[in-house]
Amino acid sequence: MTLELPTAGDPRDSDLVRAARGLPVRRTPVWFMRQAGRSLPEYRAIREGTSMLQACRTPDLVTEITLQPVRRHGVDAAIFFSDIVVPLQAAGVDVQIVPGVGPVVANPIRTAADVEAMPLLDAGAVEDIATSVRQITAALGGVPLIGFAGAPFTLASYLIEGGPSKNHEHTKALMAGAPEVWNALCAKLADISGTFLRVQASAGASAVQLFDSWVGALSLPDYLRYVQPHSAAALAAVADLDVPRIHFGVGTGELLAAMGQAGADVVGVDFRVPLDVAVDRLDGAYAVQGNLDPALLFAPWEALQPVIADILARGKAAPGHIFNLGHGVLPNTDPDVLTRVVEEVHALSAQAPSA
């Protein structure tokens, strides 16, 4: 499949935006987290010799990388090519993305003085992001662009731990032991994430997604007390812009309702919770996104096909369903399988369109 861009139509009337709003759709929309990235040979070719953060701040590169999976797979949305630490670096935080490791922070933030010294993000510091969004939306035509940002908890974990962490021990110790420092830090991060989302939505993104990759490490009481108010503040930054808001985390089966209540229109569900179970936990109040296990893309098609059909069937319990993975595309995924999944979702859902 090769989709010719730009397509006709208004992205605000696309199946993705309609599903996010719980409106009737022509067929179930599908896109993949991390669809723009290492699984595509054309991505690896264009990124060669350019660091991740440099690529994220170069509008022509961002535009091409964002468009690549839309052309190749025929997905129903583009996801803005960026990284959750881009707004931190733009604000002045000394953070680098180390290949094979991830984000690494030179000076971890663990005291009130550290938080006080941390800058906020001025929208003018990411004018290149707005430029990228305008270029992408012009090239997409009727295909919607999803803007994104990292949620305060996940950003805080990187800043406090100094990099990726399995146990988040410094993060949880600060959260419980110095809640005033924690809340001050997360308030700043909510402002930074909210500003980053607003820049993208104002420049033309048709929806936004707030990623909270690590928040599944928390209990529900801790989430409600220490995290939900800050995620709500980040999502509230675009509340007046009439763009659907998607909220996604990993390992968040116990947190789904609380994440929706933070201000989401769509709750992303990872692969651990069946969609109909998630819908029940959400009291049917939100559209859902998900939730094919990305590891199953390595299985034979005969094994994968019935799983796709099952997810679509379970998704019908929700007011709206956006088909996606339960986490991001793994780097060694065969791109042809992704294309085939898109075609299968479209074929199966078009046979019995949602009402």
Asked if residue 9 lies in contact with residue 141, where contact means CB atoms within 8 angstroms, the answer is yes
The catalytic position among 34, 57, 245, 314 is: 34
281 labelled binding-site residue: no
158 is catalytic: yes
35 labelled binding-site residue: yes
SS (H, E, C) 140-170: HECCCEEEEEECHHHHHHHHHHCCCCCCCHH
As a whole number of angstroms, the distance between CA 298 and CA 231 comes to: 34
Kindly state the tokens that stand for 121: 């993000």
As a whole number of angstroms, the distance between CA 155 and CA 177 comes to: 19
C-alpha pair distances (Å), 244 with each of 9, 26, 287: 18, 18, 10
| DSSP reduced 3-state for 81 | coil
Ramachandran area for residue 228 (φ above 0: left; ψ -120 to 50: alpha; else beta): alpha
Q: Where does residue 347 rank: exposed (0-12), middle (13-18), buried (19+ CB within 10 A)?
A: exposed
26 is catalytic: no
223 labelled binding-site residue: no
Centre a 10 Å sphere on the Cβ of residue 49 and count the other Cβ atoms it contains.
6
83 labelled binding-site residue: yes
36 labelled binding-site residue: yes
Asked if residue 250 lies in contact with residue 284, where contact means CB atoms within 8 angstroms, the answer is no
83 is catalytic: yes
The catalytic position among 72, 76, 158, 286 is: 158
- Reported residue count of the chain is 355
Q: Where does residue 270 rank: exposed (0-12), middle (13-18), buried (19+ CB within 10 A)?
A: buried
The catalytic position among 12, 38, 134, 225 is: 38
Token pair 């991505």 in the structure block, residue? 43
The catalytic position among 15, 76, 83, 270 is: 83
165 labelled binding-site residue: no
135 labelled binding-site residue: no
34 labelled binding-site residue: yes
245 is catalytic: no
| Rg of the chain (C-alpha set) | 19
The catalytic position among 47, 72, 110, 314 is: 47
128 labelled binding-site residue: no
Q: Where are the beta strands (DSSP E) in the chain?
A: 78-79, 95-98, 102-105, 145-150, 207-212, 245-249, 266-268, 287-292, 321-325
Strands 321-325 and 95-98: unpaired
Q: What residues form the annotated binding site?
A: 34-38, 83, 158, 213, 327
| Annotated binding-site members for substrate | 34-38, 83, 158, 213, 327
Active site residues: 34, 38, 47, 83, 158
